[in-house]
Amino acid sequence: MASQQVEVEKKYDVGADAEVPDLRLVPGVARVGEPRVDRLEAVYFDTEGSALAARGITLRRRVGGHDAGWHAKLPPEASQQDADSASGPRRRRELHAPLGQPGVVPDSLLAHLLVYLRGDDPLPVVRLETQRTTYPLYGEDGVHLADLADDQVTAQILKSSGAQDGDSDTRQWREWELELVHGSPELFPAAEDVLTAAGASPAGHGSKLAKALQGTEAMVPADDVTGAVPPHNAGPRKKGPASELLAAYLAAQIREILAHDPEVRLEQPEAVHQLRSATRRARSALAAYRRLYSAGAVRRLRDELKWLGGVLGAPRDADVMLDRLRGHAAELPEGEAAAAVAARLEEELGNRLDTSYRKLQKALLSERYFRLLDDLDAFSSRPPVRPQAAAAARKTAGKVVAKAARRLRRTAKAVKRSRRGAQHETALHDVRKDAKRLRHVTESVVPVHGKRAAKMVKAAHRQQSILGDFHDSVVARDLLATLAAGPDLPEAEASAFVTLHTRQVQLAAEAEAKYWKARRKSRRLLKRGVG
């Protein structure tokens, strides 16, 4: 597993003749430690299409210094981006892995990058040699606040980076880099006057790689980033066009997919659930707003998201079922029969989980999955809107929520008309799916309808959750019935399976009763809509 930290730093352009100022003049700095000189050699990697640079990601292998190894620097989580500004320090997640082989990216880093590489190989694009003089800054209490690095940089642009014939393939510059260690971000404005008085100015680049590639074909202009997701704080306006509703919601789900993809590859807890939820939300929103966009583009995305949801669903369902029945089996009276039943459940559901997870990992490496990610990016950055997309967002929001609520009421009525047994259970499952759709659609309109929409989200989620328990009980009941009917099963074990089966029947009945109570409680709210 790669180690991870959040890097908080600010870069400054500085002339070759500038002198490092007396850093004790920085408010809060009581002492400057002995400078340390390191010689760093790094090779940076990207795809031919600069897929990593387009996302503000750098991948390098560096020797020299205290942190030699492979480094991947990724944008921070959305919550951390809120604190950033154009003039403030830059925050990035930095992943670190041992040196390993020169041209082989460690798997622990590659897992975080595959969602951006999308089948392309990372190639060497720039080689940097840096002579770094580091000045450690300490506070009154001896705390190591930050480091100021004075870097003399020589960059060699490699063939794959797009250097033009006849151009120089080497560049040199000097920069200062102030990076927090244990200090607070308030140190940056405190240091600004001291550094600028010494001749420094805030850098016009975010990374040494970006500086090295300026003016080459490999440079990705900030205003022309192919596949970039809209900013996380770009929300729909009450008086804006209806297209903003889907744009904001879909962008949020794309960010969730990109965030949870590496976690699924690394088999982190709840990652499959989170990725599946983002996939379902995106699909629900596309369905709700489909009349505002090109029918073919929406249909293709919905079909592919359905495929991905199905691939994610198999391991998620097996995991939920294993956890559920593992807990219920633990309630059986101790003995050989209970132990045998628990072992049988572990074998059956464990095998399902392992098999489905392997299929999922294979799917996440497939061209189909990477093409879906590209299509989502393209739809988000260049939406194929129809004239209807210019309608008022608030009015359109009311209509799409009302339509989803009517659909939920129809499926709820169908439950009452259904025959007991499989038909009734299927009808309740349909209600669950429509409650989920209503929840997702209403989530997308909260920015323009506020508290009333939030209440509807909560009510729809309540119905969905209760009927999720109902469905899990039904699936568990059927599985237990199958296992109880196994050939040559000892009577004590069969009896234990029957006990578990009876428990699931009881839980299903309790869940259905809760559903009807929740439906009565939210009926007026859901019928009234958001406005």
Close Cβ partners of 464 (under 8 Å, ≥ 6 residues apart): 432, 435, 436, 439
Measured in Å, how far apart are the chain's first and last C-alpha atoms?
50
| 125-129, 226-230, 267-271, 409-413: least confidently modelled range | 226-230
Mean pLDDT of 504-518: 97
CA 345, chain centre distance (Å): 32
The DSSP H or E segment spanning 365 is none
CA nearest to 176, candidates 196, 155, 154, 156:
196
CA nearest to 67, candidates 32, 96, 47, 45:
96
Instruction: Let me know: does 529 contact 402? Beta carbons within 8 Å.
Output: yes
Mean pLDDT of 77-102: 72
State the burial class of residue 150 (Cβ atoms within 10 Å of its Cβ: 0-12, 13-18, 19+): buried
Could you give phi then psi for residue 180, rounded to 5 degrees? Answer: -70, 145
Mean pLDDT of 64-69: 91
Q: Residue 228 pLDDT > 60, yes or no?
A: no
pLDDT at position 431, please? 97
How far is residue 109's CA from residue 1's CA, in Å, rounded to a whole number? 8
State the burial class of residue 308 (Cβ atoms within 10 Å of its Cβ: 0-12, 13-18, 19+): buried
The DSSP H or E segment spanning 252 is helix 243-265
Other beta carbons less than 10 A from residue 407's beta carbon: 17
| 81-85, 244-248, 395-399, 414-418: least confidently modelled range | 81-85
Q: Residue 165 pLDDT > 50, yes or no?
A: no
Provide Rg for the chain, Cα atoms.
28
Identity of the residue numbered 160: S
Could you give phi then psi for residue 344, rounded to 5 degrees? Answer: -65, -40
Q: Residue 258 pLDDT > 90, yes or no?
A: yes
State the burial class of residue 425 (Cβ atoms within 10 Å of its Cβ: 0-12, 13-18, 19+): buried
How far is residue 339's CA from residue 116's CA, in Å, rounded to a whole number? 46
